[in-house]
Amino acid sequence: MKQNMKYIIYLTVIAALGGLLFGYDTAVISGAEQSLQVYFIDGLGLSTLFHGLTVSSALIGCIIGGIVSGILSNRIGRRNSLMVAAGLFFISALLSAYPEFLFFTKDEPTVGLFVMFNIYRILGGIGVGLASGLGPLYISETSPANIRGRLVTLNNLAIIFGTLFVYFVNWRIAAGQSASWIHDLGWRYMFASEAIPALLFFFLLFLVPETPRYLISKNRDEEALNILTKINGSQKIAKEIYEEVKRTMDTPKGHLFSYGKLVVIVGILLAAFQQFVGINVILYYAPRIFADMGASTDTAMLQTVLLGAVNLLFVFLALTVVDKWGRKRLLLLGSVGMTVGMFGVAALSFADAMGVSALLFILLYAAFYNLSWGPLMWVLASEIFPNRIRGQVMALTVVSCWVSNLIVSSTFPTLLEISSGMTYSFYGLVCILAFLFVWKLVPETKGKTLEEIETHWKVDETSYDISNKKIHL
């Protein structure tokens, strides 16, 4: 019998709304960051370091969300944890838009108000930290092996769509308005707009079940079998999958390094490289970068929409080829293209020739990132960890992702003041290191069940051979 594709897509689309909110929440700051500088940084006489920290304060929440995601998802389930994330998105959207709520007066910035604004952004960041790991995990645990890569990539497509959507929303809010109006009210509308998709996500999650693997881990076997049957369209196939999962669950619960240190290190480094290649410098500061290249406020916002469109197009391309070309090949290809793009921007910066050519290199960089590292880090992170330690190592991977993101995005304004060419060159160098890391250490997981992938790590790390064909390096 054929797989129940309608049901599989239904589950995936609802879970992927968490990805949309992930993209929305992290990118909404791009339209508001210059207004926040006027309202808080200039208004209170703070340094650019505080501006960088404000732009990236949500990332502190992402780290917290990543830390608690493994514990929360194992205790209350993947779906219920995503519902917590949706609630945090909603609360953060409204309070970030009006941080003066209850305690402060509008247009009278104080240190206390500045702190509260960042706390409200951190709440949204906790939601992002939860959704960033648990969205792909939910999709991975409800997807058949032969299409799992495409379905998890759909989550990243939703992230990019959320980014593009909020770029468009920010542009429409700012279009035709004066800078003073944007600095007074426009940025508030930008933050508040997130409340609508957050509320939608919360209520839609009531319509999907828990993942079969989570249910099996809690001895809710009958529920798990029913869902597996509904997904695979065959009770026989569902029973085979159930037995395979049950075998991995019946082994004693292992400690973090039960399968060796290498699988944990690969997960952490995948997440770190995804951020240190510099993508969120482009996402968070895009309007400012384009304005520094000579574009007007409206044009800079419109160019940001163009960037979002390129991101969406190439994630969609990744979606179509990830289960044909494989994860590893795309990561290597993407690393090469990103290196060319980032060093191109660096060269033009050193030559003081930032203009249309720089825009083209930025778009080239973004295209190759979204063909590779953008979606495929999350695909691999949802696949390579063994069942018994998946929640723990996924949480570590998410924390690594957001700690790296915080370091990169908070230091960017200061580094830019020192030397923009040097800054972009550093990100280009990281792209080269990312290529070498994938080439030497990252396994290919295309077409394998999660339980088959698990066997790749059942080796003594002291005798681990990097050329071992069993792990398909």
pLDDT in tens, 170-221: 888 988 788 889 888 899 999 999 999 999 999 999 999 998 888 888 888 8
> Mean per-residue pLDDT for 409-415?
77
CA angle 320, 329, 335 (to 5 degrees): 100
Asked if residue 234 is part of any domain, the answer here is no
**Would 236 be classed as within a structural domain?**
no
Considering only CA atoms, which of 159, 215, 87 is closest in space to residue 401? 159
pLDDT tens, position by position, 51-107 = 777 877 888 888 898 888 878 888 899 999 999 999 999 999 999 999 998 888 888
Cβ count near 342 (within 10 Å)? 30
- The reply to whether 67 falls in a domain is yes
Q: Please say if the pLDDT value at position 338 is more than 90.
A: yes
- Per-residue pLDDT, 460: 38
Residue 182 located in a structural domain = yes
Burial class of residue 413 (count of CB atoms within 10 Å of its CB; 0-12, 13-18, 19+): buried
Q: Decide if 361 contacts 345 (C-beta within 8 A).
A: yes
Mean pLDDT computed over 398-416? 81
Helix (H, G, I), strand (E, B) or coil at 103: coil
* Percent of the chain surpassing pLDDT 70: 87
Number of domains into which the chain is organized = 1
Amino acid at 7: Y
Range of lowest pLDDT (15-29, 240-254, 288-302): 288-302
pLDDT in the model for residue 330: 92
Tell whether 173 is covered by a domain: yes
What is the rounded distance in angstroms from the CA atom of residue 97 to the CA atom of residue 29? 11
Tell me what the pLDDT averaged over the chain comes to. 82
Residue 256: phi and psi, rounded to 5, are: -55, -40
User: Residue 409 and residue 297: Cα distance in Å, rounded?
Assistant: 22
- The answer to whether residue 226 is domain-embedded is no
Report, as an integer, the average pLDDT of 111-133: 91
Which pair of tokens denotes residue 330? 């795309």
Among 86, 153, 183, 218, CA closest to 372:
153
pTM, to two decimals: 0.72
Residue 218 lies in a domain: no
For the stretch 255-299, pLDDT in tens is 667 667 888 888 899 999 999 998 877 765 666 666 666 656 666
CATH number at residue 162: 1.20.1250.20
Residue 237 placed within a domain = no
Please compute the mean of the pLDDT values over residues 377-391 and round it to a whole number.
77
Is residue 472 scored above 60 in pLDDT? no
Give the DSSP letter string of 199-228: HHHHHHGGGS---HHHHHHTT-HHHHHHHH
The residue segments making up the domain with residue 75 are: 5-208+251-471
Tell me the chain's radius of gyration from C-alpha atoms.
22
Measured in degrees and rounded to the nearest 5, phi and psi for residue 384 equal: -80, -15
